Amino acid sequence: MLLVPFHSMEEEMAYEDLRSFLDALGSDLLRVNQALDPKFEMAALLREVQSGGQAVLFETVTGCPGARVVGNILSSRRALALALGTAPEDLAQTYRRNKARSLPAVLLGGAAPAQEVIHRGPEDLLSILPILTHHDRDVAPYITCGLVLAKDPETGRRAMGIHRVMCPRGKRLGILLGGPPFTRLHGAAEAQGRPLEIAVALGVDPATLLASVVKIGPLGPDKFDIAGALRGLPLELVRARSVDLEVPARAEIIIEGHVLPGVREPEGPFGENTGCYFTNSSPVVEVTAVTHRRDFIYPGLCPWTVEVDHLLSLAAGTELLGQLQAQTYGVLDLEMIAGTCAFSAVISVRGCRPTEVRRVILLALALDRRLKSVTVVDEDVDIRSPREVAWALATRCQPDRDTVVLRGVEGYVIDPSTLGGDTGSKIGFDATRGPGAAFDKVTVPAAARAKARAVVAELEVRKRAGSL
């Protein structure tokens, strides 16, 4: 069902759940009727079509009668824009405007779609859910699109983030908790010798998915409230059945469980968003209940794909751009470089002196824990064109003069180049132009360009008419 939100006079559509968003995708949803196996085959197809911009709904799942699987739901800027009810060119602006409003989550009593079917203390998750196995060397099926939820028992403050969950046969799962707030919550629980209660929400509306990976820091708002603000409709919650948590009432599936204190077991290898396999010694979850819709749709998210790029570019990139613009003059735009797991970004500036560029670099590298390399360019460089950015680096940057290197800073756990340590380094490149005409980009007279375009257009028309 599509809902027009009550709080706004704008023509904005809000999706209350995953399936209403899938309905809205229209021809941007590719339906696959042929039965495919969750082991390798679905991930292979999602990867194959990732650049086409279509979401994929697998209507028949080998070994899991009645279940459906969806993937690539945010694999185009068009889909992201649809998710936020805006146009692709207005994405960043809409994200910021929506996020600033307040639409707190509401707790429902009674029945919730996410709890139509309840399995208490299930013995084996894989006999209930079609969890995908993605890559040759993955040790087991992995949940890749699960919103992990927990609460600080002292303050009541909630935590939410996407965390990979390893699902071998049985009811013990491995979970990668790579940083705060989850590492802190789990550490505090362990210090008292108690388990940490968690829930994993699977199959939520796209704005809630985005909200789950927004970087908020220790004082930021509740991510459930960000979800409501982004989608223009308060998130509806319901009490979980076996843990003391509130979970999205309209999710497709909820897994409830305890992260055990003092237990670490081998987890991985698993092909990460870096495009490399990562193995860890990780906490273990014991599942206490699984609830789901009667006709649930399981969400797949293929690591290291265009969909991950889009998630990170909006939730991490737009967020960082806003922070930089609040602190410095002259920052125009920011792009997370596709395929880098948001380790690399390009920033464009206008009228910044070299010392100001340096400040932008230092701020960006410090504000985003994951960001490892940043390149700052002028506004005459298209930051979404790898060729233009490489050109600016090649012609406007002298490494000994224009590079900032930070050593001994926090490394990102899944980055293989840290060689398994938790310390890394970061680099910033000032690829802005110097003074004088030597830095001018070549241009072609406007009249000649216009004529060239007219000739090309004419050739196109003749080609289409078959006369060429």
Ligand X SMILES: Cc1cc2nc3c(=O)[nH]c(=O)nc-3n(C[C@H](O)[C@H](O)[C@H](O)COP(=O)(O)O)c2cc1C
C-beta atoms surrounding 20 within 10 Å: 16
CB of 185 to ligand X, least distance (A): 12
What is the DSSP annotation of 331-388?
A: EEEEEEPTTTTTSEEEEEESS--HHHHHHHHHHHHHH-TT--EEEEEETTS-TT-HHH
The reply on whether position 176 binds ligand X by CB under 6 A is: yes
For the segment 305-344, give every residue that binds ligand X (CB under 6 A): 308, 311-312
**Binding test (CB under 6 A) with ligand X, winner from 168, 179, 330, 339:** 179
Rg (CA), the chain: 24
What is the DSSP annotation of 110-143?
A: S--GGGSEEEES-S-GGGTS---B-STT-SS-EE
Of the ranges 159-167, 355-363, 390-398, 425-433, which one interacts with ligand X (CB under 6 A)?
A: 159-167
CA dihedral 380, 336, 233, 219 (to 10 degrees): -110
CB of 422 to ligand X, least distance (A): 13
Cis peptide before 181 (omega within 30 of 0): yes
**Binding test (CB under 6 A) with ligand X, winner from 178, 248, 299, 411:** 178
CB of 88 to ligand X, least distance (A): 20
* Cβ distance to ligand X smaller for residue 337 or 377: 337
Of the ranges 111-119, 156-164, 251-259, 385-393, which one interacts with ligand X (CB under 6 A)?
A: 156-164
* Cβ distance to ligand X smaller for residue 179 or 330: 179
Number of residues located near ligand X, criterion CB under 6 A: 16
Structure tokens at 339: 């395929």
* Cβ distance to ligand X smaller for residue 214 or 397: 214
* Cβ distance to ligand X smaller for residue 179 or 261: 179
**Binding test (CB under 6 A) with ligand X, winner from 99, 164, 258, 292:** 164
* Cβ distance to ligand X smaller for residue 341 or 376: 341
* Cβ distance to ligand X smaller for residue 135 or 164: 164
* Cβ distance to ligand X smaller for residue 175 or 249: 175
Q: Quick one: which of 61, 68, 170 has its CA closest to 125?
A: 170
How far apart are alpha carbons 304 and 221 in whole angstroms? 28
CB of 213 to ligand X, least distance (A): 4
C-beta atoms surrounding 284 within 10 Å: 20
* Cβ distance to ligand X smaller for residue 17 or 309: 309
The reply on whether position 186 binds ligand X by CB under 6 A is: no
Structure tokens at 20: 């209403």
SS3 341: coil
Of the ranges 35-43, 60-68, 175-183, 288-296, which one interacts with ligand X (CB under 6 A)?
A: 175-183
For the segment 288-307, give every residue that binds ligand X (CB under 6 A): 301
Beta bridge partners of 61: 36
* CB distance 375 to 393 below 8 Å: yes
| Residues, the chain | 468
How far apart are alpha carbons 317 and 328 in whole angstroms? 16
CB of 174 to ligand X, least distance (A): 10
For the segment 191-250, give every residue that binds ligand X (CB under 6 A): 213, 215-216
267 backbone φψ class: left, alpha, beta (φ>0; ψ -120 to 50): beta
* Cβ distance to ligand X smaller for residue 145 or 381: 145
**Binding test (CB under 6 A) with ligand X, winner from 273, 291, 344, 432:** 273
CB of 290 to ligand X, least distance (A): 20
**Binding test (CB under 6 A) with ligand X, winner from 67, 143, 162, 226:** 162
Q: Quick one: which of 212, 277, 247 has its CA closest to 420?
A: 277
Of the ranges 71-79, 162-170, 285-293, 431-439, which one interacts with ligand X (CB under 6 A)?
A: 162-170
The reply on whether position 163 binds ligand X by CB under 6 A is: yes
Structure tokens at 19: 């399936």
How far apart are alpha carbons 407 and 424 in whole angstroms? 7
How far apart are alpha carbons 20 and 1 in whole angstroms? 5
DSSP run (H or E) holding 401: helix 399-402
* Cβ distance to ligand X smaller for residue 112 or 259: 259
The reply on whether position 371 binds ligand X by CB under 6 A is: no
Residues binding ligand X (CB under 6 A): 161-164, 176-179, 213, 215-216, 273, 301, 308, 311-312
